[in-house]
Amino acid sequence: MISTKVTVVKTKPYDDQKMGTSGLRKKVTVVKQENYSENFIQSIFNSYEPKDYEGKSLILGGDGRYYNDAVIKLTIRIAAAHKVAKIILAEKGLMSTPAVSLVIRAQPKDTNFGAFIFTASHNPGGPDNDLGFKFNSPNGAAISETMNNRVYEETKKISEYKIADYTGEISFTQPSKFEVEHPDGSKTQMEIVIESTTKHYIEEMRNLFDFDLIKTLFERKDFNFVFDGLHGISGPYAKEIFHGIFGVDEKNLFQCDPLPDFGGGHPDPNLVHAHNLVALMDVFCKNPYACVPDMGCACDGDADRNMILGPRVLVTPSDSLAVLAANSDLVKALSKNGKLAGVARSMPTSGAVDRVAKKLGLNVYETPTGWKYFGNLLDAGKITLCGEESFGTGSDHAREKDGIWAILCWLSILAQKNKGNTGKFIGIRDILGDHWKTYGRDYYCRFDYEDVPVDKAEIVKGNLAKNFDMFKGLKAGNEAFVFEYHDSVDNSVSKNQGWIYKYADGSRIVFRVSGTSSANATFRIYFEKHVEPNGDLWADTQKIIHDGENLPELAIKISDLNNVAGRTGPTVIT
Ligand code: G16
């Protein structure tokens, strides 16, 4: 038993602790400032009533990035000072974001305070890179916008924090116990129990999917599968599921050991940052004679994002959502209650899933960017499947998007399509091609302008609103407006969620400012062009978005981004 006393430490507020799209993300150098982490963690406690956390359990986990260990220890000491009774600590501090969501949901409701997840997701890690704090509620979801604002208000007025004075070692692999003496002389106990990084998650996946069926796919000699963990936290799950259960050769599982700096890479599964996998799958058709795997996939730093690749093709996240909706009857996890309850997509995600929903007679909800906006719809049973263009796909099993789960959905579809088939393998290209022949194709692309100084960003925002009328005047039926979301469950309204320039046929240019960058502003420009089923379904995306209505040219004209930010083009195209 470790004995410790609570001390109350005076502090001064920082003015930059407002959470973005998903938690607070800052450079490690910022987080290392005096009392920076202490202030933020204390502000979370200050945003609740003591009855919410005293005597309750708190889960702690993260993606293993640099400096996580230090903030986890700090959180344990602050939790002890707030009379938390039990810390459920991920082994070695490692647990993916969706796995934490599932572990939270498995706790008894009346003893559950929630979870801190220490991750900056797809942002790079290391001493000069990013760190992140997220707080999730007992339902497994990141706290709401209202709570985010409450926490921010607390960060602006904080004057002291409470912390247990114990500064010795705390084991991240063995259980331990604390006896805590509080300033009024009372004593409480707090135990730390260790939760396996993978066990609970894998049990849940076994219940949700037909693993025996998926195994038949891996038994085919002509199915070649590769996975890239980008040195994030998905690796341990990938090794246990794909290698341990399905028998994939470990050589096909790349970068599956989590590293504090992600091996110096950017743990973002997209065409730019997952470049080794993209080259192996020959997505840009540079080696037409090379033999390419049948399926390639990757997850981001905290394993909530997924990227699916077929031979020489990226399945855009928008298309992935649409294909999963259209084939939901082939996926046990999606068909467990018969038909899907409904589907949802974030506003910049393409309308591909809307076409499927229309055909299947499902409601489709368009939400602002940020997984938290799906929470109410999932809790209310209005949707079963949801997704975002930013490589996020998920369902009502958790309240976070789930990278490995999405890969298992695709494996289920492939296994079902090839069930009993000893002939030619039906692959990802066949599934995509069939889908587009039915619904048409929504060509999709995103340009990112990163690191735009804040004053320049304000000028660009001004241009975006100023040019609504110019766009509307270009063609009959054009619409231009600022996206505003009215939540049909709690009636809350979220304003200013992006600028939309939309043609009558559904083609769009959308602008947003990223809510996850840790410094300056990142503008995202999303392009979407619909081609009917009888049109060119296998063209180059860049050609389609530039031909005819030249969407990128128009976007630059509307925003004047290149001039204002002094750029010649986007920093990243995905
Ligand atoms: C986070 C949210 C996602 C959201 C994404 C958008 O992803 O969880 O729901 O789509 O941010 O990022 P941005 O605001 O930069 O466009 P993650 O994977 O970073 O947690």
Ligand 1 atom with least separation from CA of 134: 20
User: How many helices and strands (H and E) does the chain possess?
Assistant: 21, 26
Candidate from 121, 388, 494, 516 with most ligand 1 atoms within 8 A of CB, to mutate: 516
Judged by DSSP in three states, 19 sits in coil
- Residue closest by Cα to atom 2 of ligand 1: 370
Give residues with Cβ within 8 angstroms of 8, minimum separation 6.
160, 161, 162, 183
Ligand 1 centroid to residue 157 C-alpha, Å: 28
* Average pLDDT value for residue range 452-476: 91
| Residues of the chain by 3-state class (helix, strand, coil), percent to 5 | 35, 25, 40
Q: In DSSP terms, which residues pair with 254 in a beta bridge? A: 228
Ligand 1 centroid to residue 422 C-alpha, Å: 41
Ligand 1 centroid to residue 305 C-alpha, Å: 9
Distance, in Å, from the CA atom of 475 to the CA atom of 390, rounded to the nearest integer, reads 30
Distances (CA, A) of 360 to 184, 232, 322, 354, 574: 62, 37, 12, 10, 30
Ligand 1 centroid to residue 304 C-alpha, Å: 10
Distance, in Å, from the CA atom of 191 to the CA atom of 203, rounded to the nearest integer, reads 25
The answer on pLDDT for 261 being more than 80 is yes
Residue 7 amino acid letter:
T
Ligand 1 atom with least separation from CA of 390: 10
Region of 16 on the Ramachandran plot (φ > 0 left; ψ -120 to 50 alpha; else beta): alpha
pTM surpassing 0.85?
A: yes
Residue-wise pLDDT tens digits, 495-545: 999 999 999 888 999 999 998 776 789 999 999 999 999 999 999 999 999
The answer on pLDDT for 386 being more than 70 is yes
Ligand 1 neighbour 97 (Cβ under 6 A): no
350 catalytically annotated: no
Ligand 1 centroid to residue 145 C-alpha, Å: 14
* Average pLDDT value for residue range 333-350: 94
Ligand 1 atom with least separation from CA of 517: 15
Ligand 1 neighbour 435 (Cβ under 6 A): no
Ligand 1 atom with least separation from CA of 369: 10
CA 282 from chain centre, in angstroms, equals 25
φ, ψ for residue 112, nearest 5 deg: -105, 115
Q: Check residue 338 and give its pLDDT.
A: 85
Ligand 1 neighbour 305 (Cβ under 6 A): yes
Ligand 1 neighbour 393 (Cβ under 6 A): no
Contact 95, 197 (CB under 8 A): yes
Ligand 1 centroid to residue 370 C-alpha, Å: 6
List the structure tokens of 176. Answer: 């331990």
Ligand 1 neighbour 349 (Cβ under 6 A): no
List the structure tokens of 429. Answer: 């290209």
Distance, in Å, from the CA atom of 108 to the CA atom of 57, rounded to the nearest integer, reads 10
Ligand 1 neighbour 399 (Cβ under 6 A): no
Least confident piece of the model among 3-12, 65-74, 282-291:
282-291
Residue-wise pLDDT tens digits, 300-313: 999 999 999 999 99
Residue-wise pLDDT tens digits, 370-382: 998 999 999 999 9
Ligand 1 neighbour 416 (Cβ under 6 A): no
* Among 121, 346, 390, 507, the one annotated catalytic: 121
